[in-house]
Amino acid sequence: MKIIVVDKRLGASRAITLGKWSRAVLSLCAIGLPLGMVGLGYQLAQAVGVPESLAPLQDEVEAQNEAIADLRADAERRLQSISLTVAEMEARLVRLDAMGTRLTGLAGLDDGEFDFSQTPALGGPLSTGEDAEGFTAMPSTLASEMGDLEARIADREQQLDFLQAVLSNRQLQKDVFLSGRPIKKGWLSSPYGQRKDPFNGQSMWHQGVDFAGKLGSDIVAVAGGVVTWSGERYGYGEMVEINHGGGYSTRYAHNKENLVKVGDIVSKGQVIAYMGSSGRSTGPHVHYEVYKNGRPVDPATYVRRTRR
């Protein structure tokens, strides 16, 4: 193989004859150089790895963005739920205040002992360090509102508990206070003390009072208590006995029918029997006795009492 080299400046030419090995080297260089450049570019692309490494990184970023969006939506839902809870607590507090104020007025306690219009006084050290473990922070405004509501509700509940105790004690004292007549309609037919026996005419001691009335009319308890006797008793006929506590008990005799049984708790003014003429009796009436510490006393003192 011959290669002719022409020099334009000198106007001369030169012929170069290539042997078999020279032609092989030249062909290898002509073909190998482009292939080498391609291979070098591929190796550089593999070393840098831009397309392969960015794809999973982009996926991770997108997943994190979705997680953040979910957390934000969940937080908004929780805040809405807490806001509704705060609104419900405020509504309950308003009702508690109204009820407490009304009960205080009805109980006649307007001296400031129970005040449902004031914010309760609060105090205490700030919890820090180990004492604050497990505490989950929330927005300061919301935390302050919820803390204030919880304190106010707790204060109202405590005042209402005390008020209920006061009213219950008053009601109990009022209920066990002996007063009034054991009938709704009728008249006093025989007083307490010495009298002539209606059957034999002899002077006898009458340890109760008699109220006459219409057969079957109501007999009522003069105070609250527990029934300790309900049934027939010699001389009394059908009788009801009630223990009122404090050493007091009452008896209601000659009944047509008893409406309570032993162990029943009765309230003041409750109908406990119907008027009759059972036992040693001359007509429809109720024989009413009052006992104090086991001894009979004149019921007239308690009949004339006014209700508390």
Q: pLDDT tens-digit profile of 82-127?
A: 777 777 777 767 766 666 666 666 556 555 555 555 555 445 555 5
Are 11 and 108 in a shared domain?
no
Task: Work out the average pLDDT over 209-214.
Answer: 95
Are 222 and 111 in a shared domain?
no
Are 262 and 297 in a shared domain?
yes
Are 16 and 88 in a shared domain?
no
Structural domain includes residue 134: no
Structural domain includes residue 126: no
CB 230 within 8 A of CB 236: no
Question: How far apart (Å, rounded) are the C-alpha atoms in residues 212 and 206?
Answer: 15
Q: What is the mean pLDDT of the chain?
A: 76
End-to-end C-alpha distance for the chain, whole angstroms: 143
The percentage of the chain sitting over the pLDDT mark of 90, rounded to a whole number, equals 33
What sign does the CA torsion over 166, 168, 169, 174 have? positive
Q: pLDDT tens-digit profile of 262-282?
A: 999 899 999 999 999 999 999
CB 271 within 8 A of CB 259: yes
Structural domain includes residue 124: no
Structural domain includes residue 229: yes
Quick check: 135 pLDDT over 50? no
CATH number at residue 211: 2.70.70.10
SS3 43: helix
Domain that holds residue 109: 56-118+139-175
Task: Work out the average pLDDT over 10-18.
Answer: 56
Structural domain includes residue 236: yes
Are 62 and 171 in a shared domain?
yes
Are 234 and 262 in a shared domain?
yes
Question: How far apart (Å, rounded) are the C-alpha atoms in residues 45 and 76?
Answer: 46
**Burial classification of residue 222, based on how many CB atoms lie within 10 Å of its CB (0-12 exposed, 13-18 middle, 19 or more buried):** buried
List the one residue out of 249, 308, 244, 235 whose CA is nearest residue 278.
Answer: 235
Find where tokens 């794809």 sit. Answer: 55
Tell me 129's DSSP state.
Answer: G
Question: How far apart (Å, rounded) are the C-alpha atoms in residues 262 and 49?
Answer: 98
Structural domain includes residue 123: no
Are 60 and 168 in a shared domain?
yes
Q: Largest Cα–Cα distance in the chain?
A: 185
Query: Domain boundary at 28, 48, 68, which?
Result: 48
List the one residue out of 103, 100, 144 whose CA is nearest residue 118.
Answer: 100
Are 11 and 109 in a shared domain?
no
Range name among 32-41, 148-157, 194-203, 204-213 with the lowest pLDDT average: 32-41
Are 170 and 98 in a shared domain?
yes
Are 71 and 165 in a shared domain?
yes
Are 74 and 152 in a shared domain?
yes
Structural domain includes residue 128: no
**Burial classification of residue 109, based on how many CB atoms lie within 10 Å of its CB (0-12 exposed, 13-18 middle, 19 or more buried):** middle
Structural domain includes residue 26: yes
Tell me 214's DSSP state.
Answer: -
* Domains held by the chain: number: 3
Query: Domain boundary at 48, 64, 84, which?
Result: 48
Record the pTM: 0.51
Are 220 and 202 in a shared domain?
yes
User: CB neighbours of 286 closer than 8 A, spacing ≥ 6?
Assistant: 182, 183, 186, 210, 211, 213, 219, 252, 253, 254, 255, 273, 275
Question: How far apart (Å, rounded) are the C-alpha atoms in residues 150 and 86?
Answer: 10
